[in-house]
Structure formats: C-alpha cells, structure tokens
Structure 1
Amino acid sequence: MRTRITDMLGIKYPIIQGGMQWVGRAELASAVSNAGGLGILTALTQPTPEDLYQEILRCREMTDQPFGVNLTILPTINPVPYMEYAEATIRGGVKVVETAGRSPEAFMPLFKANGVRVIHKCTSVRHALKAERIGCDAVSVDGFECAGHPGEDDVTNMILLPAAAAKLSIPMIASGGIGDALGLVAALALGAEGINMGTRFVATKEAPVHDNVKRAMVAADERQTTLIFRSLNNTARVFRNSIAEQVTEIEGRDGKTDFADLQSLVAGARGRVNVLEQGDTEDGIWTAGMVIGLINDIPSCQELLDRMVSEAQAIIRQRLVGFCSDD
C-alpha cells in the first residue's frame, strides 16, 4: 500500500500510531514500527527531556524501523520545557515528529535544520492550511469521532477529510474513528494517504495499560464515550464511566463551570494510576474514541496491521472494483 506517506516516512503500511499520554511508550511504539507502521513515543509521558532521550534509546533497542515522537504543545499552569523536549528528540536521532495542540511554528527552524519531518495534528481545514503554510510536511486531520480533544467545530471525518483534501497540497493522514480495514479504505477514498489510530492501538497486546481497560473497550459499543469540558471550550472525548458522568452533571448545572469544581475528578495522575495502571476503569478519566464500537478483540500489533491491510486490499479488489461497470 504505497502512498506519499509511506514513501516520506519509510514505512511499509500507511498506518501511524497516535501519540497518547501515558500509553505512547517504547513497548507499543516499537511493536507498531516492527509491524510495518509508524510507532510514536509521547514526549510528555516522560517527566523530563532527558527521560525522553533515554526512552528513544530504549525504543531503538526494540526496533530497527522508523518511529516518531509526539510533542503536544498546550498552555499549562506549570511551564513545560517544550524546546528541550524537541532538542532531546533530535539528539536521539528521531526523524519524524507529530505535533499537536498549538502551532509548531516556533519549532520549525530547529526541525527543518535537522531533517525532521513534521506532521501536525489539526481539527479543522483552516488549521491544516496554516500547518501547510508554515512548512509542515503532512497533516493529521482529526475528526469529531476521535479520542481526546476534537476541537470545537464538531465536524466528522466524512465531511472534514474531503474538505481538507480539496485544499491541501501536502499529504493528509486521517485520524479519528478508524480501527479496521473498512476505515482504512474509507479514509483513502476520502483523500487521505494514511491513517492515524490511537484508541485501537490501546486494545493491543503490547499497549502498556491494564488488561481491564482493554477488555472494557472490547465490551463497549459506539455509545460508550462522552464529551467533557464543553463548558470550558476545551472539549475532550473520554470513556463514559461514573467519573465522566459526574463531570458532565457538574457542567450541566446552571452557571459557568469553574475548573476547580472538576479538578479532583479529572486529575491526570488519577486516570494514569487508578485506571491505566491498576485497572479500575470507574475511578478516573481516560480518553477513548467512538471507534471502541468497532473493537472486538485484543490482537498483537502485527496481527492487527496485517489483518487490516489484507482485508483492505480484498475490499478494494473484490467489493469496490465490482461496482464498476464496463457498460
């Protein structure tokens, strides 16, 4: 499955593992890369830039294939040394960076000077065009179905992807709501040259999260996510559990929500320790996309990618070609 994305990144399949806080570690990233996709380490999962550098070295011991680093740039209460994380990425010899959040414009001279390919994650056409203007090599266009932050426009990928493809010159990666061969084929048909999967990779054998989380995703249907932080204009899609429902109930009250009312419920450390590490899926917030409704098993990354690509090729050859008539 050769596209501009596979050629640009030096990978076999046009499938990228999204950067995920606490999940994008060497175990998962190396497994995705070894399976023919592009694994991604999440920079801010590591407590310091030096820890990121050491994680890059650890990942390199597990794979001889390309992998990347996600750098999500967001306003924070405590300053984050984003430039130092970028420098650690370069020191580690990584040649692909996925940026998200705010514009990566300030980092582009450093990345370009060191031959780093930059993929910026966008939730709108206007942001994708801005990424192209500042020199990003590709964009990952994130639809409303996605886990995490889908932006505030609420546009699904059925509309967003072709709208972006019509205006972009650089390659586009489809992100959000994709977890099987049908999604891969649909994304390519809508103008993408690759796909980005986050939630689907959490439900794999190599993902460094508790098995209870993986089993909960298999048991869930497409209605098992909800949106929080709507009242704060910082919308996030998460797994619908008792904590998420408490958050939406507080946000639904009359008057403006204060983040202080939510802070103890949505604390990142609570979700990381109680949910992802200890497996209590009801005692913390954890992100999940609507694609959980399509997850029915917990394969290895190799099994998942091989299956997706072989089934996608069969869909194209046997089903779609059959719709064409010589008459």
Structure 2
Amino acid sequence: MVGRRGVRVTLLVSTLFGMLGCATLNAGIDYDQALRAFKNQHYDIAENHLDTALRKNPGDERAASLLGWVRFKQGRIEEAKPLFTEAYQRNPDNMATVEGLGWIYYLDGQDEKAEKAFKKLIQFTENHLENPSWPYYEPKDREVIQSMHSEANYALGLIAKRRGMWKAARDFFEQALNQFNQFISRDTIAKDLADTLFHLEEYKVAAILYKEFLSENPKDLSLLNRYAWCLYQTGNIEEAKSLYLRSKELSLLAGEYYQKPLGNQSVTQRIYAKRMAEPYYGLALIYAREKRFIAAQGELATALKISPFFHHSEEIVLLLDQYPEWREKLRLRSLGRPLP
C-alpha cells in the first residue's frame, strides 16, 4: 500500500506474527496454512501445520508464537506460556507475541508484567494511528491495528478494575469502546464498563447499558438486579420494584440455600446465593420507603436466609438504624444469619 507523497507503508497483517526471517520455504508454507486455519478457528488443523513447521525449523518464532495462540484458544494456558516466552526471546518486537504474553501474565495475576506488555501494544498501535499515512493503510490493516489498540485498552481496564482503580478502568474501557474491535465483542467491553460505572455510582449511565443488555437477556438475574438498583438510585422506584419482582420470580431456587450453613457453601454457591438475595434486599428498601414495614421485614428476613451479603450493605445498616426494633425479629426469622 502506498501512502501520501509516494511513501510506501509496509505494514501487513501477517507482520503482526513476525517476519519470515531464515525460515525454510516449506516451513513458511506450513505456517501460512496454519494461520489460515487459525483465522477460521480450526485450531486442531492449525496445530498440525505448526508442529510440522517447527520440526522443519525449530527456531521459527512466528510458528512458536502462533502455536502459543492455538494453545491459548484451546484453553491450554500452561502450554501457551513457554511458547510465547520462547518466541519473545527470539523476537521481542512481534506484537502478536507481546499480546499473548500480556494475557498470560494477566491470567497469572502478574499485573505489572501484563500492564507493561499491553502498554507496549498501545505504543505500537498509536505509532500507526498517528502516522500521517494512516488514511492510506489498507482497510484490513487499519482494522487489525484498531482492534489491537482497543484490546490493549480493554486489558488495561481489566487490570485497573482488579486493582480497584475504578476511574482508570472506566477511562480504559471507554477508549476500548471508541475503537473498532474484531477480536472482542462490543458487549463484552460494555458490560465491564457498566459494572465499573455501577461501582462508581454513576447509575444513570450504567442504567442505559444495563437496559440494552437486558433486552437481549431478559432472564439474566445479575442484569435485572443491577438495572433495578440503578433505577432505584435514580428515583425510578416503581420500575425498580417491577424488575425486582421479576428477578424474585426467577430466584425461586434460592430455597435450597435457606437451611445451608454458610460454612458449607462453596465460593460459587455464595456468589449465586448473594445474587439471588439481591431482589429481596431491594424490595425491603422499597417497601420501607413506602411505609409497608411488615412487607419490608419479610423481604429482609428472606434475604438474610439466602445470603447476609449485599453489594450496598450500608443501605441495610441505615435502614436497621432507623428501625432498631427490627433487629431481634429479623434475627429470629432469618435462622440466626448475621445482619449486615
């Protein structure tokens, strides 16, 4: 592709997996076949071609990097790591390898190393985005560069989110959404942005996103509960109540948690129970607001039977401070579960 004033722009999609270097012609053919299979999500076929390529040329870092991605897509993370590491040692400028290592580090909880890798990816992509010849890049190359820029921002957002740096996470997720991304769906990024806005208590904006997601997944308990809470916090009480009642109907299986001691619940069960308790907590707050105190106590007692954990427990504490006489009644009705 030729840029302004005849400057030739040499970036091609294939260069993201490194230059051919001294690989033999036959190994290069195997690599190209593997790359086509990988793009079509035929990972077993790609694996066979890459094994052949590496037998012919064990030093082919492109093949090692792509095999790392095959292993990654197959969920064989521990096998992907040494492949990416070896490929990086041979060529630290292969951005596909840097990208792969970044995700490996993130999954391993090595946030500093992951952050360094994704920032390197940001720098690489921005060098192209800011290039005066950018408008003359081939469309497929622009899409890959934009996708990598978006993906790196998304990854940095996940790192910030895990660190509890919610404002930084929001900025990264917003930047990720502002770029075309063929690797990660818009919904995936937007859901993490919505959850971040929820934690930042930016409920009006979060509600817009949750409403959109809910239209596609009307029975998703987490979406129902979070959208309802956003509506409650922004004064849309009746709509919030309606959503909590719908969520409550979908939470009928919560009964299995009523009698089970907390110590006997797995982490997954605790998370599930916490989610199913949310509509009861929400309705308790709404009924108390409506002066329907018996109904409020009933919802709160049921919530405590399911799970004593709530994402905004301070709201429940304030409610109980208003009506301290409820505490003993609730303690008896909630099977002795601790109050928030």
TM-score range for the pair, normalised by the shorter chain length: under 0.3
Q: Which structure would you say has the larger Rg?
A: 2
Give the number of the structure whose residues are more often helix, by fraction.
2
Bigger RCO of structures 1 and 2 (CA < 8 A, at least 6 apart): 1
Q: Which has the higher strand share?
A: 1
Alignment TM-score, normalising by the size of structure 2: 0.22
TM-score, L = length of structure 1: 0.23
